[in-house]
Amino acid sequence: MPRSKKGKRGGTSGKGSLRQEVLQLQLSAKTALSRPGRNGGKGESGASDDELASDVLSHYSSASESASVLEDGTGEVVDEQTAQEETEDKLKQCIDNLMDKSAKARLAALESLRSAFSSRVLYDFLLERRLTISDCLERSLKKGGGDEQAAAATLFALFCVQLGGGVEAGECFQMLRPILSSIMSDSCASLPARQSCARALSLCCYVSASDDIDDLLKCMGNLETIFVGSYPHGDGSLPSVKAGIPALHSAALQAWALLCTLCPASRIESIVNYHLPRLQACLDSNDVNFRIAVGETIALLYELGRDIDQEFEYEDCDALCESLKGLATDSNKYRAKNDRRKQRSIFREVLHYIENEEFSEEKVRFGIEVIYIDGWVRRRIYEVFKEVLESGVSLHLKLNPLLRDIFGLGAPLILDAAVKANKISRTERHLFNSAASKARTKLRNKVRDKRADVM
């Protein structure tokens, strides 16, 4: 909460204000530390209450200086440059550990780098080491176990996002694309590794090779070979698939849908005509997550078709809408309650869009900015980045030029020191919440007393 909302401007000395409550709580904590112990011995500090109050107030008056320093885990104040150097040293060590003989050490290094890549923007640092990192990821993908392959594929997707989709990212993608495709198509590879490779292949192509139609179509073809395994046979019946395969098909279908958003209009018509009837048949799949992925892809293809031709209409639209209505109102008891709820919610949206071209717009807020998710194409793009960046998606929306360009946000905003200094620490926020709770309790007690007097 901004400090301007804690009390009236200049009213920090007002009796009963929340600001004063925070100061009083901190003052009480410091006073308790300075008082003699139970055995009558003197405390470490002989400062008076006035001096302690002065210390607390000076803490608030120095808030504007906090914009240029960071606090480490021990509470010590360190210079930003020193913190940056320490971070880079840790990252260098993790990169070195990618070549360790121990699979456990390599996996730990991959996970540490994944966390760092999602929570920071490291373009300059990674640009100098892109070949080393690419070589290490290639080795992990070729020789690592299933967990290591899955982690390496995810890290490579983050790596391309960090490099911003430039020439450098394109070179790395050309080197690793055949390996990602090979693992994804290998029936003997672990399913998590195959899923991660499908997602990485799609995202890296979207980021690094969006202008190369040949690479785009190759990647789409590779992904198609995976999820068409769930397409109906010639007689219309759906194939039986092994446990875990629907999750792989869902990942490949969603990855393919992302690349569909880059296809030229000349290819969209043939894609829609071929895939819509087969995807409609897949709505009868036994796997809820695959059904949802199919429904969302149908809506996305419909949107792409309408972008080309406003009068676009699927020839078997009535039958499709009947299937969607059934899933939007599904109450079969043999399906889990959460699955039914999730399915009904998604398919209501899909049905509304196909029948009425209505889409429930979503707002994504990050800092003082906001992006609007106003269609299925934009939702698919956002969900892909959210999936790979996880909790770091807000930071990358603020600072990463690639994401800002994709979502039309312009150059990163530069906030002045006064805005940065207005941010409060976790301790201060906790004290403020405690003071606010205490103030509410006092107010309620007064109201209760008045009610008692009236009665």
- Distance, in Å, from the CA atom of 112 to the CA atom of 90, rounded to the nearest integer, reads 9
Residue 64 has pLDDT above 50, yes or no: no
Burial code (b: 16+ CB inside 10 Å, e: under 16) for 328-341 equals: bebeeeeeeeebbe
Domain assignment present for residue 166? The answer is yes
Span 153-182, mean pLDDT?
A: 93
Looking at the domain assignment, is residue 182 inside a domain? yes
Assess whether pLDDT exceeds 60 at residue 81: yes
Give CA–CA dist 396/221, Å, rounded: 30
- 323 φ, ψ (degrees, to nearest 5): -65, -40
- The residues pairing with 167 across neighbouring beta strands, listed in sequence order, are none
Domain count of the chain? 2
User: Which residues are bridge partners to 78 per DSSP?
Assistant: 70
In a domain, 386, yes or no: no
CATH number for position 185: 1.25.40
Which of 211, 237, 266 delimits the end of a domain?
A: 211
Q: Is 141 left (phi over 0), alpha (psi -120 to 50) or beta?
A: alpha
| pLDDT per position as a tens digit, 231-282 | 999 888 899 889 899 999 999 999 999 999 999 898 999 999 999 999 999 9
Q: Is residue 6 part of a domain?
A: no
Spatial contact of 295 and 346, defined as CB atoms under 8 Å apart: yes
Q: Locate 412 and state its tokens.
A: 């990163």
Query: Residue for token digits 């490291």?
Result: 122
Residues near 254 by Cβ (< 8 Å), separated by ≥ 6?
199, 293, 296, 297, 380, 383, 384
Residue 367: count other Cβ atoms within 10 Å of its Cβ.
13
Distance (Å, rounded) from C-alpha 177 to C-alpha 156? Answer: 10
Rg, the chain, Cα only: 28
Range of the domain at 179: 82-211
- 288-302 pLDDT, tens digit per residue, is 999 999 999 999 999
Domain boundary among 192, 211, 230: 211
E-assigned strands of 244-373? 362-366, 369-373
Whether 381 is covered by a domain: the verdict is no
Give the rounded percent of residues in the chain with a pLDDT score beyond 70. Answer: 72
401: in domain: no
Taking CA 342 as the corner, what is the angle to CA 341 and CA 347, rounded to the nearest 5 degrees?
100
Tell me which of 378 and 19 has the higher pLDDT. 378
183, part of any domain: yes
Does 64 or 210 have the greater pLDDT score? 210
In the block, tokens 């008692």 appear at 452
The Cα 208–Cα 231 span in angstroms is: 30
Question: Which of 52-66, 162-176, 398-412 is predicted least confidently?
Answer: 52-66
Residue 324 lies in a domain: no
Mean pLDDT for 365-380 is 94
Do the bridges between strand 77-79 and strand 362-366 make them parallel or antiparallel, or are there none, so unpaired?
unpaired
Q: Give the sign of the dihedral formed by CA 71, CA 72, CA 77, CA 83.
A: negative
Backbone angles phi and psi of 413, in degrees to 5: -75, 145
Domain boundary among 211, 245, 264: 211
The CB density around residue 289, as the number of other CB atoms within 10 Å, is: 16
pLDDT at residue 404 is higher than 60: yes
